[in-house]
Amino acid sequence: MSDADEILKALAAGDDASAERLLSLVYDELHRMASAKMRHEAAGVTLQPTALVHEAWLRLIGPDSESTPQWNSRGHFFSAAAEAMRRILVDAARKRNALKRGGGLVRLDFEESAVGVPTSDADILALHDVVDRLEVVDPSAAQIVKLRFFAGLTMSEAAAAMQISVRSAHDVWKYARAWLRQELRPE
Mean pLDDT value across residues 145-151: 77
pLDDT at 116: 47
Is-contact 18 7, C-beta < 8 A? Answer: yes
For residue 97, the Cα-to-chain-centroid distance in whole angstroms is: 8
The DSSP result for 26-72, as a single string, is: HHHHHHHHHHHHHHTSPTT----HHHHHHHHHHHHHSTT-SS----S
pTM of the prediction?
Answer: 0.48
Percent of the chain with pLDDT over 70: 72
Query: Do 18 and 10 meet the contact criterion of CB atoms below 8 Å apart?
Result: yes
Identify the residue with better confidence: 106 or 167: 167
Are 176 and 122 in contact by the 8 Å Cβ rule? The answer is: no
